A and B are shown apart, each in its own frame.
Chain A
Amino acid sequence: MKRSAENEKFTRRAFFVGAAQGAFLVVLGGRLAWLQIAQGSRYKTLSDENRINTKILPPTRGQIVDRFGVPLAVNNQNFRVLIIPEQAENLEKSLRALQKYIDVEESSVQTVLKQAKRSPKYVPLEIKDDLSWEEVAKVEVNLPDLPGLSTNVGEIRGYPLGEATAHLIGYVGAVNKNELTDDPLLSVPGFKIGKSAIEKTHDLAMRGKAGSSDVEVNVIGREVRELKRIDPVPGERVMLTIDGELQRFAQKRLSEQQSASAVVMNVHSGEVYALASYPAFDPNVFSRGISAALWEELLANPGFPLTNKAIAGQYPPGSTFKMITALAGLKTGKITTNRTVFCPGHYILGKGRFHCWKKGGHGYVSLADALAKSCDVYFYQMANEMGIDAISEMASQFGLGKNFGFDLSEERPGLVPTRDWKKARFNETWQPGETIVNAIGQGYFLATPLQLAVMTARLVNGGYEVKPRITGYIGDKNIAPQKWPKMKIPDEHLKLMMQGMNKVVNHERGTAYGSRVKDPPEFAYGGKTGTAQVRRITMQQRAAGVKNEDLAWRERHHALFVGYAPLDKPVYACAVVVEHGVGGALTAAPIARDLLVEVQKRNPAGTPKTVQTAPASETQTKTKKPI
């Protein structure tokens, strides 16, 4: 029958369609299995990447403290007022309301309004930072009137001693592109690293380790919840050998001059107690962000406030160098304690006429007199006899001409001239006249105040090759003092130097007699004055008797002094350089005296150091309010 044939056809075709549908279902199931099983792990990763946003949690930067634990660099709280646009009914209204309570600049308001248009509504925007306590209180109390506003506390590096430790501690600043490493912290916006001095040297130790927070975010980036948190590891505390109070004292004392620097250190351990350079800058301004105008001003200052002159200022050592010449003379046998030289006020070598600083001359001078009175002619004579090589070699032994590998990378090497050096530098042979000039620390020799202090320390510590140190502890790890090797210099030679330096200060004919310590007598010290010519004194000026004080500041001599104390068993060495300070006895010696008295009073070498382990968090939190 036709109907049944038709039915059969329908059944056939319906089965065909049904089979196709079944096949399609199998394809869908297969596809699902492919996505969920075969590709499952890949999509799982993609899904996690979608939802998980890893935030880096910056650690607290390690403190820097002085040898007594007094903070030199801390993390201060930085109170900020923020606004979350979505919580403010009317953004501008809230900002205007805030202006009623605290001082907010119109430009800040405009900036926030502009930012709000670009960023998602849940992102907090900073209106003002560095709020005072009073301002924080005003905002907090009036929060009901200020929809969307909140205060929050961040960290900002602070330097309690300000200018006094500016060169020593350095400062922190934003990360430059070429400073980026694989440390993820460096990419955190607003993260700061050490830019100079100790902040830079021990940056890695003080930086700490980044923590992380995995937050689940939705498609527009809003945080939904925290999934995993690894707390940051705070940076280590750095304890310096510095005595903060002495440092402050030194800085204050130097500020009486236009431009000066000083170093006070332990002659045995090499621990530096004070390292000051004036003028300086306020590092607190640097960590907040310095204005262009102030920067220009610092650059234009003739006292180079951005340079740590105690380690980077290179000066002709002048007469402070005479101990080196003397030791070289003793070593070569040209100088003996019995030998005297007649000083008529000048010395003639070939066609050259070399003046002693004392116009009339010193008459007959022995070694002790030559040091005490700083007679130039005595050393001219000896230098001419022994030649430059012996002098240069002795200078090198005492730490001149080379970097110590000091913890402050700004240190400069100074200069110890040799025949080879001159050949290489000027392609000229060494002249005997140059030996004579260099023997009194003029000419080519250059030394930093730190080198002069180390030189003095080596003269008075029994001849040990001490090197300066400034880091005491990193965390609770002691940066142990080394045993310094003994130099091959006979003890009696060194004793002669100490005798001479004693006379400089404590003999009535000594150049620094005016700066001796009268009271108390146990604080008496020895030392050597130095005056370094900045420009050559013309014959006319010498004839006219032009006094150095009458010249323009820039043309005046540098004043130097190196000293030690106490007299019998020296512990402290000190070097002072007053730029254009006219004369060592005039300006440098009084400063050195004050520093040596102060350091003996405070006696940091005799005070056992208290080692405190760095607390986990070094910022005291007054209020905690998460954004």
Chain B
Amino acid sequence: MPKSIILQSEQGIIHKLRNLDWAFIALIVTVASIGFTALYSAAGGSFEPWAENQMKRFLVIFFGMLVIALVDVRWWYKFSWWLYGIGFVLLVYVEIMGHVGMGAQRWINLGFMKLQPSELMKVALVLTLARYFHAATPEDMKRLSFLIMPALLIGAPVGLVMLQPDLGTALMTSFAGVAIVFVAGAPLWIFIGGAVAVAAAIPVGWHFMHDYQRQRVLTFLNPESDPLGSGYHITQSKIALGSGGLKGKGFLDGSQSHLDFLPEKQTDFIFTLWAEEWGLAGGVALLLLFGLIIWYGLWISLRARHDFGRYLAFGLTFNFSVYIFVNIAMVMGLIPVVGAPLPLVSYGGTAMLAAMIGFGLILSCNLYRDSKVTRI
């Protein structure tokens, strides 16, 4: 083993901590704090019932993130299959439990939080794909048979999530997977062909959609057609955003949110609450912070000296960005309501856990960017 790598992986814990990318961590804490502020406001100026819970959770998960960040990236490389397996089993478990008579249940109740395996599965999928493509040769990438495995890795959890049924999460999961396959160097024609195939499949997919999913698409296309029915969420969210104006209505003064016109204000529509109270200025500031995190994540990905780190950091950053785009585009009425939280900001344990695990792994990639990861 080269000397430098030994040094890096066997440095003292203090030294490692010091070497963590604290600017990146500061960005994360800033965005999370915006979340606390918004949740405090969502409760009408109270830490109960959301902000306090969220802060406690963040504190615990934050230390979890640091631990993940300090763990040698090669450890994650080694155990990625295991993690994939655990995630898959949990997914199957909720699928079976759902069938056993609890309706469309997507979570496991851990007592202190409700864990959605599909969120964890996304991280596990990125880990596994990063490992699979690690040190893959260009020749490998040209072989179609080499891409059968990733297709299965992506397809299995996506299929299960679709069965839940949760079309939004299924799509987002597959996006993250496909993105890694893309940057890993798979032939372009696969993606072009895939896009054409998806376009052709839309009518078929429509046929297999649940009624409520169809309704979501229809009301997305014309939300005002049914302002008190299923278009209500989008319409009220747009009213809240629009009425915020440039400077917003002021902290704790978002009438749409506080008078309950805005549904799910503490979870999926938290961005709306934020932009209603803080206006375009606050909204753009939050978007910029997210942009910085994404840019930072990509930069870490490009800096990594090993494929595993590159793909891992890229995949996780991409996953994070998909969440942001989907959530914010949804509350602005750009895409149908899919029920995706805004990571770090929305109230909820799983989404935060998944995002923070991702950041831990990204930080780990950064800390161990020069490690030699041997293909096993």
Q: How far is the CB of A218 from chain B (nearest CB, A)?
A: 4
A108 contacts which chain B residues (CB < 8 A)? none
Q: Which residue of A lies closest to B334 (CB)?
A: A31
A17 vs B311: C-alpha distance in the bound complex, in angstroms?
Answer: 13
5 nearest A-B residue pairs (beta carbon)? A43-B242, A47-B243, A218-B259, A219-B260, A36-B280
A18 vs B182: C-alpha distance in the bound complex, in angstroms?
Answer: 13
A27 contacts which chain B residues (CB < 8 A)? 334
Pairwise interchain contact B183-A10, C-beta atoms closer than 8 A: yes
Please judge, given known A-B contacts A13-B182, A24-B325, A28-B287, whether A36 and B261 are in contact too, CB under 8 Å.
no
Pairs across A and B, CB under 8 Å, 9 listed? A10-B183, A18-B298, A32-B241, A32-B283, A32-B332, A36-B246, A46-B242, A48-B243, A50-B261
B→A interface (CB under 8 Å): 137-138, 179, 182-185, 236, 238-246, 255-256, 258-261, 275, 279-280, 283-284, 287, 290-291, 294-295, 298, 301-302, 307, 310, 314, 318, 321, 325, 328-329, 332, 334
Contacts A21-B321, A28-B287, A46-B242 aside, 19 further interface pairs with beta carbons under 8 A come to: A5-B138, A13-B183, A13-B185, A14-B298, A21-B325, A25-B287, A25-B294, A25-B325, A28-B332, A32-B280, A32-B283, A36-B242, A36-B244, A43-B238, A43-B239, A46-B239, A47-B240, A50-B259, A218-B258
A12 vs B314: C-alpha distance in the bound complex, in angstroms?
Answer: 13
Counting chain B CB atoms within 10 Å of each CB, the highest count among A37, A44, A46 belongs to: A46
Q: Which residue of B lies closest to A49 (CB)?
A: B239
Pairwise interchain contact A37-B246, C-beta atoms closer than 8 A: yes
Q: How far is the CB of B110 from chain A (nearest CB, A)?
A: 32
Please judge, given known A-B contacts A9-B185, A24-B325, A36-B245, whether A47 and B280 are in contact too, CB under 8 Å.
no
Q: How far is the CB of A515 from chain B (nearest CB, A)?
A: 77
A617 vs B72: C-alpha distance in the bound complex, in angstroms?
Answer: 83
Q: Which residue of A lies closest to B313 (CB)?
A: A14
Q: Which residue of B lies closest to A50 (CB)?
A: B261
> Which of B185, B242, B256, B332 contacts A42, CB < 8 Å?
B242
* A207-247, CB < 8 A from B: 216-220, 224
Q: How far is the CB of B358 from chain A (nearest CB, A)?
A: 15
0/1 interface trace, chain A 28-62, chain B, CB 8 Å (1 if under): 11011101110110111011101100000000000
> Which of B185, B259, B294, B314 contacts A216, CB < 8 Å?
B259
> Which of A28, A218, A219 contacts B328, CB < 8 Å?
A28
Q: How far is the CB of A366 from chain B (nearest CB, A)?
A: 90
A→B interface (CB under 8 Å): 2, 5-6, 9-11, 13-14, 17-18, 21-22, 24-25, 27-29, 31-33, 35-37, 39-40, 42-44, 46-48, 50-51, 216-220, 224
Please judge, given known A-B contacts A17-B182, A44-B243, whether A219 and B259 are in contact too, CB under 8 Å.
yes
A25 vs B260: C-alpha distance in the bound complex, in angstroms?
Answer: 28
Pairwise interchain contact A10-B238, C-beta atoms closer than 8 A: no
A2 contacts which chain B residues (CB < 8 A)? 137-138
Pairwise interchain contact B301-A35, C-beta atoms closer than 8 A: no
Q: Which residue of B lies closest to A24 (CB)?
A: B325
Where chain A touches its partner, the secondary structure class is helix
Pairwise interchain contact A50-B328, C-beta atoms closer than 8 A: no
A217 contacts which chain B residues (CB < 8 A)? 259
Pairwise interchain contact A43-B241, C-beta atoms closer than 8 A: yes
Q: How far is the CB of B240 from chain A (nearest CB, A)?
A: 7
Counting chain B CB atoms within 10 Å of each CB, the highest count among A11, A31, A217 belongs to: A31
Q: Which residue of B lies closest to A43 (CB)?
A: B242
Pairwise interchain contact A36-B255, C-beta atoms closer than 8 A: no
Q: Which residue of A lies closest to B243 (CB)?
A: A47
Q: Which residue of B lies closest to A10 (CB)?
A: B183
A10 vs B141: C-alpha distance in the bound complex, in angstroms?
Answer: 12
Q: How far is the CB of A407 from chain B (nearest CB, A)?
A: 50
A32 vs B182: C-alpha distance in the bound complex, in angstroms?
Answer: 30
A220 vs B255: C-alpha distance in the bound complex, in angstroms?
Answer: 14
A269 vs B166: C-alpha distance in the bound complex, in angstroms?
Answer: 89
B321 contacts which chain A residues (CB < 8 A)? 21, 24
Pairwise interchain contact B332-A31, C-beta atoms closer than 8 A: yes
> Which of A6, A13, A44 contacts B138, CB < 8 Å?
A6
Q: Which residue of B lies closest to A18 (CB)?
A: B298
> Which of B182, B185, B242, B260 contacts A40, CB < 8 Å?
B242
B260 contacts which chain A residues (CB < 8 A)? 218-220
Q: How far is the CB of B187 from chain A (nearest CB, A)?
A: 11
> Which of B179, B183, B242, B329 contacts A44, CB < 8 Å?
B242
A43 vs B249: C-alpha distance in the bound complex, in angstroms?
Answer: 13
Q: How far is the CB of A19 from chain B (nearest CB, A)?
A: 10
B238 contacts which chain A residues (CB < 8 A)? 35, 43
Please judge, given known A-B contacts A17-B179, A218-B260, whether A40 and B243 are in contact too, CB under 8 Å.
yes
Please judge, given known A-B contacts A21-B321, A29-B284, A37-B246, whether A14 and B332 are in contact too, CB under 8 Å.
no
A48 vs B259: C-alpha distance in the bound complex, in angstroms?
Answer: 11
Pairwise interchain contact A25-B310, C-beta atoms closer than 8 A: no
Pairwise interchain contact B287-A29, C-beta atoms closer than 8 A: yes
Q: How far is the CB of A36 from chain B (nearest CB, A)?
A: 4
A579 vs B302: C-alpha distance in the bound complex, in angstroms?
Answer: 112
Pairwise interchain contact A219-B332, C-beta atoms closer than 8 A: no
A219 contacts which chain B residues (CB < 8 A)? 259-261
Counting chain A CB atoms within 10 Å of each CB, the highest count among B183, B290, B318 belongs to: B183
A21 vs B328: C-alpha distance in the bound complex, in angstroms?
Answer: 13
A21 vs B325: C-alpha distance in the bound complex, in angstroms?
Answer: 9
A460 vs B236: C-alpha distance in the bound complex, in angstroms?
Answer: 78
Pairwise interchain contact A14-B301, C-beta atoms closer than 8 A: yes
A10 contacts which chain B residues (CB < 8 A)? 183-185, 307, 310
Q: How far is the CB of A32 from chain B (nearest CB, A)?
A: 5
Pairwise interchain contact A32-B284, C-beta atoms closer than 8 A: yes
B138 contacts which chain A residues (CB < 8 A)? 2, 5-6, 9
Q: Which residue of B lies closest to A21 (CB)?
A: B321
Q: Which residue of A lies closest to B290 (CB)?
A: A25
> Which of A28, A39, A51 contacts B329, CB < 8 Å?
A28
Counting chain A CB atoms within 10 Å of each CB, the highest count among B184, B310, B321 belongs to: B321
B242 contacts which chain A residues (CB < 8 A)? 35-36, 39-40, 42-44, 46-47
A18 contacts which chain B residues (CB < 8 A)? 294-295, 298
Q: Which residue of A lies closest to B260 (CB)?
A: A219
B241 contacts which chain A residues (CB < 8 A)? 32, 35-36, 43
Counting chain A CB atoms within 10 Å of each CB, the highest count among B184, B236, B255 belongs to: B255
A14 vs B138: C-alpha distance in the bound complex, in angstroms?
Answer: 16
A224 contacts which chain B residues (CB < 8 A)? 259
Pairwise interchain contact A47-B246, C-beta atoms closer than 8 A: no
B179 contacts which chain A residues (CB < 8 A)? 17
A25 contacts which chain B residues (CB < 8 A)? 287, 290-291, 294, 325
A109 vs B240: C-alpha distance in the bound complex, in angstroms?
Answer: 43
B279 contacts which chain A residues (CB < 8 A)? 36
> Which of B255, B283, B325 contacts A51, CB < 8 Å?
B255
Q: Which residue of B lies closest to A12 (CB)?
A: B183
Pairwise interchain contact B283-A36, C-beta atoms closer than 8 A: yes
Pairwise interchain contact A6-B302, C-beta atoms closer than 8 A: no
A46 contacts which chain B residues (CB < 8 A)? 239, 242-243
A33 vs B307: C-alpha distance in the bound complex, in angstroms?
Answer: 39
Pairwise interchain contact B246-A50, C-beta atoms closer than 8 A: no
Please judge, given known A-B contacts A10-B184, A10-B310, whether A43 and B329 are in contact too, CB under 8 Å.
no
Q: How far is the CB of A22 from chain B (nearest CB, A)?
A: 7
Q: Which residue of B lies closest to A22 (CB)?
A: B291
Pairwise interchain contact A32-B287, C-beta atoms closer than 8 A: yes
A37 vs B179: C-alpha distance in the bound complex, in angstroms?
Answer: 35
A481 vs B171: C-alpha distance in the bound complex, in angstroms?
Answer: 88
Q: How far is the CB of B224 from chain A (nearest CB, A)?
A: 11
Q: How far is the CB of B63 from chain A (nearest CB, A)?
A: 29
Please judge, given known A-B contacts A37-B245, A40-B243, whether A50 and B256 are in contact too, CB under 8 Å.
yes
Q: Which residue of B lies closest to A33 (CB)?
A: B280
Q: Which residue of B lies closest to A52 (CB)?
A: B255
A434 vs B136: C-alpha distance in the bound complex, in angstroms?
Answer: 129
Counting chain B CB atoms within 10 Å of each CB, the highest count among A9, A36, A220 belongs to: A36
Q: How far is the CB of B223 from chain A (nearest CB, A)?
A: 13
> Which of B259, B307, B329, B332 contacts A35, CB < 8 Å?
B332
A600 vs B63: C-alpha distance in the bound complex, in angstroms?
Answer: 104
